[in-house]
Chain A
Amino acid sequence: ILNVEQSPQSLHVQEGDSTNFTCSFPSSNFYALHWYRWETAKSPEALFVMTLNGDEKKKGRISATLNTKEGYSYLYIKGSQPEDSATYLCARPGGANSKLTFGKGITLSVRP
């Protein structure tokens, strides 16, 4: 089983704060890295799928970077809003023909 680790486990920030999370994974046999956003009482939704070292993707105030050589990805949220409160999951396939392994997620709570 692939070891995909996320830190911190939970985060509490004030509205307007910027924050970032880390996803760490084995760098060998890298194929892709996924980020999902999971709001309470809803289903996970894909944010980004990243494949190239140095990739940077952005969606509104959320962006992500990827370092495949050292095995990590950062997710940044600029100017957090209460509606950003959710669990953020990262996931990595074992290789080109392998299923995803999810990290345990980072729960973000944004106080108004």
Chain B
Amino acid sequence: DAGITQSPRHKVTETGTPVTLRCHQTENHRYMYWYRQDPGHGLRLIHYSYGVKDTDKGEVSDGYSVSRSKTEDFLLTLESATSSQTSVYFCAISLDLTYEQYFGPGTRLTVT
């Protein structure tokens, strides 16, 4: 199994508070991704990174920011959480943009 961890695994927070989710990999893969999973929508890409300090937006990036200061860590920040951001968040990694992706265990975030 690819070495990908996510923290925290579960979080409950209040509307308006900032939240940061962490993805950590031990595989030295260049690409890292953040997805959200919602019923009826499957997996939707929030942001991705193609190297240290190199990031780009996905299809549902509004309300989210990311940072990658080290190859192994990719952080997803909700600056001011809203109830619509209640979801399960998956991190993924890949060697190249079009190669198969390996997914982390997911983080369940509830915004009350």
Contact = CB atoms under 8 A, between A and B. Distances in A.
A99 interface: yes
Interface in A80-111: 89, 93, 96-105
Interface majority SS (helix, strand, loop, mixed), chain A: loop
Interface stretch (A41-49, A53-61, A68-76): A41-49
Interface majority SS (helix, strand, loop, mixed), chain B: loop
Interface residues of B, number: 21
Interface string B72-112: 00000000000000000010000001111111111000000
A44 B41 contact: no
Interface residues of A, number: 22
B45 interface: yes
A104 B41 contact: yes
